[in-house]
Amino acid sequence: MAAAERHESVGLIVVGASVGGLVAAITAADHGHRVALLERAKELGGGAGTESEAIAAAGTRFQRVADVHDTPDRLIADLRATTRHYLETDEAAALVAQSAGLVDWLADRCGVQVTLQSRTAVGGHSAPRLHAVGEQGGASLVATLVRHASHHTHIRVRAATEVERLIADETGTVTGVAVRPDRRGAAVVMGPVLLACGGFVANDDLVAAHCPDVKDLPHLGAFGGKGDALRLAGPVSAATSHMGACAVTPFLAQPSHLAVPRAVADLGGILVNQLGKRFADETKDALALALDVRAQPGRVAYLLFDERVTSAVAANDPFFARVVLPRTARRGSSVAMLAKQLELAEAGLAPTLETYNANLEPGGDPFGRQRSGGPLEAPFSGIRVTGARRATLGGLKVDAAGRVQHASGAPIPGLFAVGGSASGLSGDGTDGGLVGMDALVSLGRARAAALALGSVADDGA
């Protein structure tokens, strides 16, 4: 005889243990709600472990200690400029206004090792406002949040658990989820639902349908959104927004799948193929360059740079210095040694470097490159890279508190979405927006959604 369906009621159901999902779960639990945290994978944290997860925040105490004068209005102005003046201003303003409080909460409540990433304005910002979240970037953040969620008395973590569908009543209010049956039978969990289960970057069919310009780029890495949020929210007529937006990189290190920061190329790094020859302007549009890299022999290229570039990038990006560089780079004291380390043709590499350096003064780069930080000099470093898609930036249409919007324009009661499940602020295209905003939007919405539930002494679960 089939096992009886199991029912449970909680104050919040979080679908997906991404960093946004973890933040929402901890916040709701701290306010007295019992939380069911459901994760399809066996491990928690989503894809944050391979990212820096630096948070853009304005007017923080960490900035004040560093004598950095910054305001939310200044960050909004930078957002407008980066998004070519496309911006959902009210939503952006609400998220930016809470950015300092979010950083304080991570540091004080969760014990995240928050530091101002650098004293220099980088990544499209007009002030130093990127806040690092530990020596190992996203991996440090994940470890801290998982520890707090796993030990919280009001959070029940269920890994290797897949949600089949949302449950809604006759008014359209989302009231729970149905969980895929296991050996104990089917289960229904009742309560408001927050989707934090990623975008659709790893779903080739959805990418081809919504982001056709990037369909020829692969998604590489152990984790990637399969479109679960769209699948779950579709039957309740959830609206979507900016479905064509997708972040890509020409500099995904192989085989680690860590993204090398674009600053390495902007400051003078060059790309060569297996023959040791350049093939493109390394500072051009990310999508075009990623496709150029994939067109090379073996679908790979080699990003070459020197100690000057290494020092400059590392000074402003601790994730590059502590994680990316040690795990991905090979070093050579001469052109011959570098060619040997990377298994490149020295006969092609030596004249390539000589030509690149010789063309710096007259500005006669054969690929039209306009920006460079100076000649490349020994010792050299190199990283094997390929082009890839990193994340979809469109998704379910939400407000600043993560409330999912119905196709009619009204909020769907009982349904929230954060992180890759929700649409970002960057508009359409493949530029990716302002550095550090993805982390702020994801974590800020997660906090706001959980706080929207209010405080309770006990929800009776």
Pairwise pLDDT comparison (352 vs 1), residue with the higher score:
352
For residue 215, is it within any domain?
no
Arithmetic mean of pLDDT, 18-23: 97
Q: What is the pLDDT of residue 1?
A: 35
Could you tell me the CATH number of the domain that includes residue 351?
Answer: 3.90.700.10
The verdict on whether omega for the bond into residue 351 sits within 30 degrees of 0, i.e. cis, is no
Name the domain boundary from 355, 370, 389. 389
Whether residues 43 and 182 share a domain: the answer is yes
pLDDT surpassing 90 at residue 19: yes
With 0-12 / 13-18 / 19 or more C-beta atoms within 10 angstroms meaning exposed / middle / buried, residue 418 is buried
Q: How far apart are CA 242 and CA 19, in angstroms?
A: 22
The gap between the terminal CA atoms of the chain, to the nearest Å, is 29
Question: What was the pLDDT predicted at 3?
Answer: 54
Q: What is the pLDDT of residue 432?
A: 56
353 has a pLDDT exceeding 90: yes
> Per the domain annotation, does 231 fall within a domain?
no
- The reply to whether 322 and 341 lie within a common domain is yes
Residue 2 has pLDDT above 60, yes or no: no
φ/ψ of 304, rounded to 5, equals -110, 140
Distance from C-alpha of 321 to C-alpha of 211, rounded to nearest angstrom:
33
Containing domain of residue 324, as a range? Answer: 247-389
**pLDDT score recorded for residue 364:** 79
Q: What is the pTM of this model?
A: 0.94
The pLDDT of residue 113 is above 70: yes
Task: Specify whether the backbone of 457 is left (phi greater than 0), alpha (psi in -120 to 50) or beta.
Answer: alpha
Q: State whether 326 and 404 are in the same domain.
A: no
Least confident span in 122-131, 160-169, 291-300, 450-459 = 450-459
Quick one: pLDDT at residue 122? 87
Q: Report the pLDDT averaged over residues 380-406.
A: 95
Q: Are residues 126 and 174 in the same domain?
A: yes
φ, ψ at 337 (rounded to 5°) = -70, -40
Q: What is the pLDDT of residue 458?
A: 46
The answer to whether residues 344 and 438 belong to one domain is no
Confidence of residue 138 (pLDDT cuts 50, 70, 90): very high
What is the tens place of the pLDDT at every residue in 199-255? Answer: 999 999 999 999 999 999 999 976 778 999 999 999 999 999 999 999 999 999 999
Domain co-membership, 180 together with 38: yes
CA distance 189 to 98: 31
Q: Is 360 a member of any domain?
A: yes
Residues 252 and 275 in one domain: yes
Percent of the chain residues topping a pLDDT of 90:
81
What amino acid is encoded at 437 in this protein? M
The arithmetic mean of pLDDT across residues 438-461, rounded, is: 84
What is the tens place of the pLDDT at every residue in 37-81?
999 999 999 888 888 999 999 999 999 999 999 999 999 999 888
Q: What tens digit of pLDDT does each residue of 29-41 get?
A: 999 999 999 999 9
* 413 in the same domain as 368: no
Largest distance between two CA atoms of the chain: 83
CATH code, domain carrying 170: 3.50.50.60
Beta strand 380-392 pairing with 330-332: antiparallel
Q: Is residue 241 part of a domain?
A: no
Same structural domain for residues 141 and 84? yes
Q: Is residue 222 situated within a structural domain?
A: no
Please state the domain count of the chain: 2
How much of the chain exceeds pLDDT 70, in percent? 94
In a domain, 339, yes or no: yes
Sign, Cα dihedral of 372, 378, 379, 384: positive
Q: Is residue 241 packed enough to be buried (19+ CB in 10 Å), middle (13-18) or exposed (0-12)?
A: middle
- Domain final residue pick, 389, 419, 442: 389
- State pLDDT tens for residues 405-444: 999 999 999 999 999 999 988 666 656 578 899 999 999 9
Residue 460 has pLDDT above 90, yes or no: no
The dihedral sign for the CA sequence 200, 249, 397, 435:
positive
Phi and psi at residue 431, in whole multiples of 5°? -75, -30
Q: Which of 389, 414, 435 is the last residue of a domain?
A: 389
Query: Are 14 and 108 in a shared domain?
Result: yes
- What confidence score (pLDDT) does residue 355 get? 93
Question: Do 282 and 399 reside in the same domain of the chain?
Answer: no
Same domain, 44 and 175: yes
CA distance 314 to 321: 5
pLDDT given for residue 450 in this prediction: 97
What are the pLDDT digits (tens) for 166-180? Answer: 999 999 999 999 998
Mean pLDDT value across residues 17-27: 97
